[in-house]
Amino acid sequence: MQIYLPIAEVSVNIFLLLGLGGIVGVLSGMFGVGGGFLMTPLLFFIGIPPAVAVATEANQIVASSFSGVLAHLKRKTVDLRMGTVLLIGGLVGSGFGIILFNYLKSLGQVELLVQLCYVVFLGMIGSLMFIESLKAIRNASKPGGAVPKRRKHNWVHNLPFKMKFRVSGLYISVIPPLLVGVLVGILAAIMGVGGGFIMVPAMIYLLGMPTKVVVGTSLFQIIFVTAFTTMLHATTNFTVDVVLAVLLLVGGVIGAQIGTRIGVKMKAEQLRIWLAIMVLAVCGKLAFDLLVMPAELYSLGTGGH
Amino acid sequence: MIRLIALFLILALPAKAEEIVLGLSRDEVAITATFEGSEILIFGAIKRDAPPDADGDLGVIVTVAGPDRPVTVRKKDRRLGIWINTDAVDVDVAPTFYAVATNRPLEEILTFTEDLNTRVSMQRAIRSVGATVEDAESFTDALIRIRSEQGLYQTLPTGVLVQEEALFRTLIPLPANLTEGDYKAEIYLTRGREIIDFYVTTIPVKKVGLERWLYNLAHDNPFLYGLMSLSIAIAAGWGASAAFSVFRR
C-alpha cells in the first residue's frame, strides 16, 4: 500500500516504512542509540530527499527515545543528574555545531564532511568497542579468571567541581561529562543524528559509568537534543514530514519497547560487541561508497550551490 | 518568452486548413494521501474544411510540462582516492516533469528550426545558461537520464495514436513523485514537418485534503507545526510504553 508524503513529495510503501521504523526501534531500545545513523542513510536509499530525511529522522528519534526512557525509568536505570549535566553540554555543543555546519555549507562540500565524519567516528568507536568487549568476553569465559575491574582511577578523578552521581555510583568532577556533552552536541548537529553511538561509548570508557545505566541516560539526553533539532529544522527549512515521522515512529516505539526487553536479558559484553559490529558495518558501507566508483557520477540538487 | 514569440508567429499564419479539437480525461490531478501516480488521457480530433492535402505527412506532438524549478547537477570525481563532488552546473530551466509524445519519431515530423523555436524536444526543453565547466552538455544529459529513470522525463516516440488522419489519442503516465503546480499540455499539428496548428491548456496538479492542510501548516505556521510534530512523537512514545506495561501485567 502506497502513501504520498506531503512534505517529501514522494510516494512510498507504508509497510516498508513501518518495518524500517521497527528494526531501528529495536536497536534503539537495545543499545540506547537513537538509530539516526542507520535510519538516515536508509531513508536516502528509499528516495526521501536528504533534507527531509535528516529533519524527520530527528522527530522520529524523539518518539523512540521517549518510549525507551519510560521503560528505563521504571527499572531505575536512568541517571537523571548525569543526564542533565550531559544535556547542558549537548545543547551548547549543538549550537556551536549548527554555526559550524552553516559555515562549511557556505564553503561547499558539506556532504563530504558529513560522510568523512561518519567514517572516522564510526570506525574509531566501532573498533575500540569491538576489541574491548572481545577481551571482556574472553576474560569472563576463563574458568576462575576474575573479571577485571574497569573503573580505574585515572586523571578524570583528579579534576575539581566534584559531584555525586548516585545512580551511576560515581563521585567525579562535572567537567568531563560537560565536555562529552559539548563534543557529542557538535557532532550530532553536523552529522544530523542524536549522537547516542558516540555518547554511549564515551560514558562507558571516559566516565566509567555502568553499562546498564548508560543506555537509559543516553536516551534521556537524546530526547532533548533531537527535539531541539526538530524545531530548528521545522522553523528554518520546513523539512519535517509529519506523515513520514508518524509511520516511522509507530514502528519505532513498538520496536524500542521490544529492544529494551532484549537488552535487559543480554550480557553487557554481548550488548557492546553487537553494537560494535553494527557500527563497523555502517562505517564499512560508507567507506566503500567513498572509495568505489559510483554507478552514477552525477547527482541532482536543488537550485543554487 | 521565446516560446511565446514562436506561438505568435504561428498565430500569424494564413487561415488554417486543419485545426485541433481537444479533450482531456480530467481537468485536474488531485494528490491525496494514497496517491500512487496517475495518467492523463489526451485525445482530440482534427477539424478540416476540405479533404486533407497530400503534401506531407501528418504529425501530432503532445507535450506535458510540470512547473520549472532550477536544478544543480553535480559531478563526482576521484580526488586523493575518494569520490567527491567536483564540478557543478546550474540548470536554470528544467521542468519538474516533461513528457513528449509523438505519433512518429520527432525528427520525422518536426524540422530542426521549428524545434528550436518551440522547444518541444527533451534536449531543447532543458536549458542551462552560462555554464562555466567544460562539456556542460553531459550535465544536462545526466539530468535527463536521472529524471527519466524516475519516470519524470518521458519520450514516447509512438505514444500518440492517430486514426484515419482525423482522431488522435495519447496516454501520459504521471509518476507518484509529482511536484505541485500547473502542468501545461501543448498539442502541435504538423504537415511536412512544419507546424500548422497548436493548442495549449493547463492541468492543475495539487494536493488535497490532509496533504494540503499539513503542507500549508508547515509553511504558514512552522513553529506550531514543529510543536505538533513533537507532541505526536512524545504521545506515541508514551502510548507505546503504556500499552506494553498493560500487556505485561
Tell me, letter by letter, the H, E, C secondary structure of B201-238.
Answer: EEEEEEECHHHHHHHHHHHHCHHHHHHHHHHHHHHHHH
pLDDT score of B100: 92
The string of DSSP codes covering B84-134 is EEEEEEEESB-BSSEEEEESS-HHHHS-HHHHHHH--SHHHH-B--S--SS
Domain ranges of chain B: 2-66+97-207, 208-249
Domain ranges of chain A: 2-144+151-291
For residue A161, what is the enclosing H or E element?
none
Whole-angstrom Cα distance, residue B65 to residue B67?
7
pLDDT score of B119: 84
For residue B154, what is the enclosing H or E element?
strand B153-156
Measure CB to CB from residue A59 to each of B32, B210, B233 and give the nearest one.
B233
Residue ranges, chain A, pLDDT below 70: 32-34, 105-110, 141-158, 160, 192, 302-305
Measure CB to CB from residue B176 to each of A11, A66, A292 and give the nearest one.
A11
Contact B98, B63 (CB under 8 A): yes
* pLDDT over threshold 60, residue B110: yes
ipTM above 0.85, yes or no: no
The CATH number assigned to the domain with range B2-66+97-207 reads 2.60.40.3880
The pLDDT tens digits of the residues spanning A17-65 come to 898 888 888 887 777 666 777 787 788 778 787 778 878 888 888 887 8
Q: DSSP letter at B53?
A: P
Residue A151 contacts B where some CB pair is shorter than 8 Å: no
Instruction: Mutate one of B229, B234, B244 to test the A interface: name it (highest A CB count within 10 A).
Output: B229
Q: What is the mean pLDDT of chain B?
A: 82
The pTM (predicted TM-score) of the whole model is 0.73
Contact A217, A79 (CB under 8 A): yes
Instruction: State mean pLDDT over B191-198.
Output: 85
Strand partners, B42: B24, B170
pLDDT score of A147: 46
Residues 6+ apart with CB under 8 A from B78: A293
A63: chain B residues, CB-CB within 8 Å: 232-234, 236-237
Residues of A (98-127) whose Cβ lies below 8 Å from B: 108-109, 111-112
Measure CB to CB from residue B229 to each of A6, A10, A240 and give the nearest one.
A240
Residue B28 contacts A where some CB pair is shorter than 8 Å: no
Confidence of residue B98 (pLDDT cuts 50, 70, 90): very high
A303: chain B residues, CB-CB within 8 Å: 69-72, 90
Measure CB to CB from residue B177 to each of A1, A9, A230 and give the nearest one.
A9
Instruction: State mean pLDDT over B217-225.
Output: 88
The fraction of chain B above a pLDDT of 90, given in percent, is 6
pLDDT score of A145: 44
For residue B190, what is the enclosing H or E element?
strand B181-191
pLDDT score of A156: 62
For residue A7, what is the enclosing H or E element?
none
CB contact under 8 A, B218 and A7: yes
Grid coordinates given for B135: 562539456
A304: chain B residues, CB-CB within 8 Å: 70, 72, 90
* pLDDT over threshold 80, residue B103: yes
CA-nearest residue to B128 within chain A is: A303
The pLDDT tens digits of the residues spanning B112-155 come to 888 888 888 888 887 766 566 667 788 888 888 988 988 889 98
pLDDT score of B166: 85
The pLDDT tens digits of the residues spanning B67-90 come to 888 888 888 888 888 887 777 788
Roughly how many angstroms between the first and final C-alpha of chain B, as a whole number?
71
- The rounded Cα A269 to chain-centroid distance in angstroms is 19
Measure CB to CB from residue B219 to each of A238, A253, A257 and give the nearest one.
A238
Confidence of residue B6 (pLDDT cuts 50, 70, 90): low
Confidence of residue B1 (pLDDT cuts 50, 70, 90): low
Query: Which residue in the block uniquely carries the three cell numbers 563521585?
Result: A171
Pairing of strands B153-156, B98-102: parallel
The fraction of chain B above a pLDDT of 70, given in percent, is 87
